[in-house]
Amino acid sequence: MQPGSHSGRTYVVTGAASGIGAATTRWLRGQGGRVVTSDLHDADVIADLATERGRRALIEGVARIADRIDGVVANAGGGPVETMLALNFFGAVATVEGLRPMLAGDAPRAVVVSSVSSLGPFDDRLVAACLAGDEAAALTAEQEAIAAGKNALDLYGSAKHALNRWCRREAVTPQWAGRGAVLNAIAFGVVETPAAAWILNDAGARDQMKQMAPLAGANPAKADQAAALIGWCVSPENSLMCGQVLFADGGIECLARGDARW
HEC string of 202-217 equals CHHHHHHHHHHCCCCC
- Burial tier of 39 (Cβ tally within 10 Å: 0-12, 13-18, 19+): buried
Residue by residue, DSSP assigns 147-166 as HTT--HHHHHHHHHHHHHHH
Look over the chain and give the mean of its residue pLDDT values, rounded to a whole number: 90
Neighbours of 30 (CB within 10 A): 12
Residues carrying an active site annotation: 156
245: three-class secondary structure by DSSP: strand
What's the pTM? 0.91
C-alpha to C-alpha distance for 40 and 9, rounded to whole angstroms: 24
Specify the pLDDT at position 255. 85
For range 119-129, the mean pLDDT? 94
Cβ atoms of 33 and 10 closer than 8 Å: yes
Is 123's pLDDT higher than 80?
A: yes
Digit-coded pLDDT (tens) for 212-228: 556 555 567 789 999 99
Can you state the angle between helices 152-170 and 135-147, rounded to 10 degrees? Answer: 150
Whether the per-residue pLDDT at 198 is higher than 90: the answer is: no
Residue 35: phi, psi to the nearest 5? -125, 130
- pLDDT of the residue at 184: 98
**DSSP per position, 89-151:** IIIHHHHHHHHGGGB-SS--EEEEEEEGGGGS---HHHHHHHHTT-HHHHHHHHHHHHHTT--
Yes or no: say if 235 and 1 are a contact pair by the CB < 8 Å rule.
yes
Tens-place pLDDT, residues 139-193:
999 999 999 998 888 899 999 999 999 999 999 999 999 999 999 999 998 776 5
* Residue-level pLDDT at 151: 87
Q: Which amino acid is at 28?
A: L
Q: How many residues can be counted in the chain?
A: 262
Q: Looking at per-residue confidence, does 43 or 221 come out higher?
A: 43
Strand order in the sheet with 10-14: 45-46, 34-39, 10-14, 71-74, 109-115, 182-188, 245-248
Sign of CA dihedral 166, 71, 91, 156: positive
Tens of pLDDT, residue by residue over 224-242, are 999 999 999 999 999 999 9
Confidence at residue 202, expressed as pLDDT on a 0 to 100 scale: 58
Distance CA 259, CA 262 (A): 6
pLDDT at 201: 55
